[in-house]
Structure 1
């Protein structure tokens, strides 16, 4: 037995962990020292008691160990968390100009070696999603570290999702102010030097879909003089960027009245020629086709259609139907930006689905660009699961 409490892996089950994949599933574990309880930070050893990594253990989760470090010296979880938070902070500071962008993902969980922890910055507020038991146990310390990194902070707010915490066996408080002031109902932030209104407390996710930051900027470059249709618009981010970049007409469609109201407030402040429609997207696309409406640029950014591999077949059908409907509204030379945030649907399958939709639409498309999540959502080569957002920017060629 090892001299210190440890998590011992079965023979031959250390390969993935040594390749720096951050998850160890329960089936790979031979035994766990009695001293190690759920939420504890412990060392992982192979069958021969050789060091493999450090991580947070949880007997209630299918992911039994979430790894944080592959250095034997990183035995103090607080020092490791502080170091990884500082590293993540410096990486983001080098990505964005404070004068034009003050909203971004500061910590992206496993990709920043802080498994289960998401931290999003919105001006002088931080929003946390803490979806692992180990990070929940360290939450107060994490807030202290973040306050040291950002002395100008006005508040830290938690907005964790109970459905993920239930998988971790955590039943504590997961919503509300962790430190400082409560965020205002609508907070003004800057993205790409444009103002956005964010509802941190009641909006979807943490307030904005920050993973689309670079894609909003990229697609705006094709919007001048165009008729733009933004589907599943949320608060209208893609549409607002298009309008500010000279689009002739922008129509945002979403099923949430609250989200569209925020979008309308934004448009009144900074843009013209922006309309909002509360409706089902698929039904609206069919109706627009009946009315012989056409758009020069269409954005499809639907919600996650597949939570797991079991739902892939149904999701593929939904993606195909959605893209087929949109393709019929594009003239020759028109552009389609289509996305999937379903991690279970990989890039290759998504491309096949979109190609199948084009056949049913009776149109041919060329891929101009493959799109992905913004750089503040880094993808680790050792953790392909961190590449969840994929997109295709297409042009109709026949």
Structure 2
């Protein structure tokens, strides 16, 4: 049993403070499923400002009608996150278990092995909570203050429902900073793995570093887009740019690619990609090149390199609205530099995980870059995150991933 001196006791509705919407707030949107209330929509007085970040409250509209239980953080622009529209429910281990159980049922319908995103935040009813599963180990990212407060009830429910042995807390990331949270990771249950864990996906083997890698150690969201690119790669020369642990490249090798070059700025990530190729016994067809992607693409063109399939899957160039214009220019530049390296009638895949850049903006920037490179393109496929990353229709941010595949 997981215990902690800071774990919060179950609280009934009668014990919770009340917070209230301003008349200008869109109460209808919240009732219809929008999960956030911004600070400028709230009645904020000395009492509400002094609420502890992550504490629970009853949300009322401006007419004092109860709307549900929310998690409150006066330090965040997102002042309230809706947890339950039934204000009589109790946010305790059983409540977490019910949500995790529903999420688990869906993933077990989708996948025949326990390697997937188990909880995808708002769309799975746990705002700000990410849980990726790696067999008997899960990595939890509590990216909202309320999840930090209730982390031990969440962890206990996770163990009870799934039967996993190890639960790790990953406290890295920009979102926690915005919530006023620390960056201290921890082992919540069991133990951390001694080294990278093998993750089977799309017939490839990826090596995931759960304690020292990016995010939770691997990106499950691109699974269907890896598969699409792999189907085009049999017998082809492939380059995987921003490869991380080999996402597109190793899937291509599993589908018969004649060669793969993985490009990334991180030496540890490329070492993991190489270990994946070794585990798949395809190392003779796999090579790596470390360096800034823009510089490497420029150098490869000077070298006269050519590939049948090129995929670029960069980090978020536009993580928020202030970075949107610069981010779109970066996506255009990537397309302009990558397109000349694609053989005639070859494939160029371009990806964006920036929620601030919508599909139309990203597609426009990509097509502009391809055109500036002197190439003509036909759009073959538009991909999104896999079904273990469900979208909440009311929240555009949950539809962050876009993947475009062109024939040049």
Same-fold call, TM cutoff 0.5: yes
Give the match for residue 391 of structure 2: 379
CA contact (8 A) 2:333 2:369 kept: yes
Give the Cα–Cα distance (whole angstroms) in 1 for the partners of residues 139 and 264 of structure 2.
Answer: 24
CA contact (8 A) 1:36 1:42 kept: no
* RMSD of aligned Cα (Å): 1.9
Give the match for residue 320 of structure 1: 332
More deviation in 16-25 or 346-355?
A: 16-25
What secondary structure, in the 3-state scheme, does the structure 1 residue paired with 2:79 have? Answer: strand
Give the match for residue 6 of structure 2: none
- What TM-score, normalized by structure 1, do the two folds share? 0.93
What secondary structure, in the 3-state scheme, does the structure 1 residue paired with 2:336 have? Answer: helix
Inter-CA distance 143–337: structure 2 relative to 1 (3 Å threshold):
same
What secondary structure, in the 3-state scheme, does the structure 2 residue paired with 1:334 have? Answer: strand
CA contact (8 A) 2:51 2:73 kept: no
Residue 32 (structure 2) pairs with residue 19 (structure 1): yes
1:172-199 C-alpha deviation (Å, 9 max, x unpaired): x730211101222111222234322111
What secondary structure, in the 3-state scheme, does the structure 2 residue paired with 1:200 have? Answer: coil
Map residues 101-140 of structure 1 onto 2, 5 A cutoff: 102-140=114-152
Indicate which of 352, 371, 386 corresponds to 2:364: 352
What secondary structure, in the 3-state scheme, does the structure 2 residue paired with 1:144 have? Answer: helix
More deviation in 74-83 or 346-355?
A: 74-83
Residue 64 (structure 2) pairs with residue 64 (structure 1): no
Give the match for residue 226 of structure 1: 236
CA contact (8 A) 2:205 2:277 kept: no
Indicate which of 292, 300, 309 corresponds to 2:321: 309
What secondary structure, in the 3-state scheme, does the structure 1 residue paired with 2:271 have? Answer: helix
CA contact (8 A) 1:20 1:70 kept: no
Map residues 88-167 of structure 1 onto 2, 5 A cutoff: 88-98=103-113, 102-151=114-163, 153-161=164-172, 163-167=174-178
Give the Cα–Cα distance (whole angstroms) in 2 for the partners of residues 310 and 182 of structure 1.
Answer: 37
Give the Cα–Cα distance (whole angstroms) in 1 for the partners of residues 126 and 174 of structure 2.
Answer: 20
Give the Cα–Cα distance (whole angstroms) in 2 for the partners of residues 206 and 214 of structure 1.
Answer: 19
Inter-CA distance 288–143: structure 2 relative to 1 (3 Å threshold):
same
Give the Cα–Cα distance (whole angstroms) in 2 for the partners of residues 82 and 12 of structure 1.
Answer: 36
Give the match for residue 340 of structure 1: 352
In the alignment of these two chains, the number of paired residues is 390
Map residues 193-204 of structure 1 onto 2, 5 A cutoff: 193-204=203-214
More deviation in 26-35 or 63-72?
A: 26-35
What secondary structure, in the 3-state scheme, does the structure 1 residue paired with 2:369 have? Answer: helix
CA contact (8 A) 2:226 2:248 kept: yes
What secondary structure, in the 3-state scheme, does the structure 1 residue paired with 2:325 have? Answer: helix
- What TM-score, normalized by structure 2, do the two folds share? 0.91
CA contact (8 A) 1:41 1:77 kept: no
Which 5+ residue runs of structure 2 have no aligned equivalent?
Answer: 1-12
CA contact (8 A) 1:40 1:58 kept: yes
1:53-85 C-alpha deviation (Å, 9 max, x unpaired): 321011111100011222344344544322211
